[in-house]
Amino acid sequence: GRLPFQHAATLEAATAGTQGALHQVQAVRNEIIRRMEDERKSARDAIDRDFEAALRALQQGPFKQNLSNGEARLTALDDARATTRELCTEFLVAASTANANDLDEEDTRASLAVLPVAAR
């Protein structure tokens, strides 16, 4: 039979082989994890870039245009309200003057004709 130290040498060789295989598996595993993390990071960066680009496009494009259109419409509305208020005041003054003077229908029509065209 074999001598005991020969068995020990065989065992040591087998152990060394197993450890070598383990180290290789760990190295491959670490490489796979590293690659996955790189891919995840680049995917996240791409998503961030797309999101920022979409936001920029929104702020510079239609959104901004709609905002300024909306503001212009609001300003026009305010102007129209102010004009309407003035015209109503003028109309009421003209009507009360007509009533105070107890004028007939023709004179009332004549005093209303003095109002700006927009009021009629």
Alpha-carbon distance 83 to 39, whole Å? 63
63 CB-side CA count, 13 A: 7
pLDDT at 57: 84
pLDDT at 81: 94
Q: What predicted TM-score, i.e. pTM, was given to this entire model?
A: 0.40
Contact call for residues 115 and 90 (beta carbons, < 8 A):
yes
Q: What is the mean pLDDT of each run of 10 residues along the chain (120 residues)?
A: 81 93 94 94 94 87 82 93 92 82 63 60
Domain extents in the chain: 1-60, 72-120
